């Protein structure tokens, strides 16, 4: 199947067998302080899922991780699966407060196991959703096609349809905490690893390291590729067209400020393909030098859109000078380079980390529903196993009802139009190209008649991408 295998190891004597057949090992809750076993999996060198003991403190849990690291293995995943309390309504009590605590204490990823924690099917999905909202990196969920006849753990196993609903819920929740439920990650990883040259595994983005476009690149590709900063959007398109970068990451629209028109124009101008998309939450923080108090700040650097998105917060400090710059990441770098301890910047938490700066205050934006949708562009289309969206551009004749005739085609074939944007045609005043996002795979033979009708009713029809 190509799927990785994780198996619980209970004895040092099992190590050689595990090395041959599994991809990662798990240390169960009852073995969290089996120190010889911890040292053994440390020497094995493969990823380790370390479950928290039933009555263990967080400090004791981390000390167990240290035993593994001491043998040279840093590939550790911490798993919270509930602790024993006096509460009888669930098998254990799932300690979600451990997530923010661990975030402050360690860099290790955190997964949550609500199945073993609650032991009750109806409690699994609510706790899984809560875990994602609290910032968990992953979930461990038990699923069975017939739980009532399962030989083990049937009472806590979800039916497949319940798991499907949970996945859809998480898809909605994840962007709020800066994450993405990626149904196509394995395909993307395969696509990237199949490139001929390792040097070509790069993605161009606008701004500097720490920019929201940089965050979008990491969110889509993970650490499979190297992000490359660019000064302008046209630089991104040129870099991809010339093959200097394999991919480009471009913002298309913001939930508050609308479309980024320049990029729609560049999509029309360049013969590149959209191969994917990612939506991230724009969460502004106030950033300054270490040990600087907010009362010491005399000026704040940020691009004008960031100022407008944080207007209610900034109005509380009318005496602070607002200094406009080109990008949030540039603002953080300028404050860092200047050494000015009376200056602060508005930017992402990631920018603060990259430039080793201090966050004075988080979430200072007026509206938490601030999201930006990014498109991933490349020279050639990719073979996605499951296509859910197609982006097209087209124009219409200059006559009454021309656009309506195109819209009728979508209606007749029950194709959902989720985005329609008009942009002036290059070199043709008062004539327009239309950009549309459709929830359909327009290159599937099933939609052949639709494309034929669209060609009849429109002009300059071109598929920008399927993803």
The set of catalytic residues is 372, 374
DSSP state of 415: -
The encoded tokens of residue 264 equal 């729609």
For the chain, the residue count is 467
Residue closest to 336 by CA, chosen among 321, 324, 347: 347
Measured distance CA(147)–CA(172) in Å, rounded: 27
The whole-angstrom separation of Cα 9 and Cα 119 is: 22
Residue 420: its H or E element: strand 417-425
Can you say whether the dihedral through the CA atoms of 364, 366, 368, 369 is positive or negative? negative
Residues 70/35, Cβ–Cβ less than 8 Å: no
Give CA–CA dist 305/323, Å, rounded: 12
Alpha-carbon 349 to chain mean position:
15
Q: What are phi and psi of 248, to 5 degrees?
A: -130, 145
Backbone angles phi, psi at 27, to 5 degrees: -100, 115
Q: How far apart are CA 269 and CA 435, in angstroms?
A: 13
Identify which of 249, 260, 250, 252 has the alpha carbon closest to the alpha carbon of residue 221.
249
**16 vs 349: CA distance, rounded Å:** 43
Q: What angle do CA 145, 151, 152 make, to 5 degrees?
A: 90
């Amino acid at each position: 199947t190509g799927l990785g295998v994780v198996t619980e190891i209970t004895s040092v004597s099992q190590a050689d067998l595990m090395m041959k057949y599994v991809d990662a090992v798990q240390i169960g809750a009852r073995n969290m302080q089996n120190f010889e076993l911890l040292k053994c999996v440390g020497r094995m060198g493969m990823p380790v899922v370390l479950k928290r003991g039933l009555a263990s403190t967080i400090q004791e849990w981390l000390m167990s991780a240290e035993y593994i690291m001491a043998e040279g293995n840093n590939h550790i995943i911490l798993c919270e699966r509930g602790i024993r309390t006096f509460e009888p309504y669930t098998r254990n009590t799932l300690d979600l407060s451990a997530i923010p605590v661990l975030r402050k204490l360690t860099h290790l990823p955190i997964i949550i196991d609500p199945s073993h924690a609650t032991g009750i099917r109806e409690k699994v999905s609510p706790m899984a959703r809560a875990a994602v909202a609290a910032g968990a990196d992953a979930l461990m969920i038990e699923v069975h096609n017939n739980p009532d006849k399962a030989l083990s753990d049937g009472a806590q196993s979800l039916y497949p349809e319940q798991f499907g609903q949970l996945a859809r819920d998480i898809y909605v929740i994840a962007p709020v905490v800066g994450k993405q439920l990626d149904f196509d990650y394995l395909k993307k990883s395969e696509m990237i690893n199949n490139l001929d040259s390792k040097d070509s595994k790069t993605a161009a983005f606008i701004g500097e390291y720490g920019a929201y476009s940089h965050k979008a690149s990491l969110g889509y590709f993970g650490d499979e590729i190297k992000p490359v900063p660019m000064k302008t959007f046209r630089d991104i398109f040129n870099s991809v067209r010339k093959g200097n970068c394999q991919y480009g990451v471009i913002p298309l629209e913001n939930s508050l400020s609308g479309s980024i028109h320049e990029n729609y124009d560049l999509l029309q101008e360049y013969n590149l393909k959209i191969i994917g998309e990612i939506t991230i939450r724009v969460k502004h923080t106030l950033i300054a030098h270490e040990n600087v108090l907010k009362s010491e700040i005399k000026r704040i650097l940020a691009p004008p859109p960031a100022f407008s998105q944080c207007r209610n917060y900034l109005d509380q400090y009318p005496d602070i000078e607002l200094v406009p710059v080109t990008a949030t990441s540039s603002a953080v770098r300028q404050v860092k380079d200047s050494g000015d301890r009376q200056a602060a910047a508005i930017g992402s938490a990631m920018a603060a980390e990259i430039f080793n700066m201090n966050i004075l205050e988080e979430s200072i934006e007026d509206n938490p529903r601030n999201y930006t949708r990014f498109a991933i562009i490349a020279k050639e289309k990719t073979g996605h196993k499951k296509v859910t969206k197609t982006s097209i551009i087209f124009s219409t004749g200059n006559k009454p009802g021309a656009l309506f005739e195109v819209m009728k085609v979508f209606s007749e074939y029950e194709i959902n139009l989720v985005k329609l944007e008009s942009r002036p045609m290059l070199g043709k005043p008062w004539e327009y190209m239309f950009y549309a996002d459709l929830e359909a795979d327009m290159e599937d033979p099933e939609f052949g008649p639709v494309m034929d009708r669209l060609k009849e009713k429109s002009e300059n029809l071109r598929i920008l991408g399927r993803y």
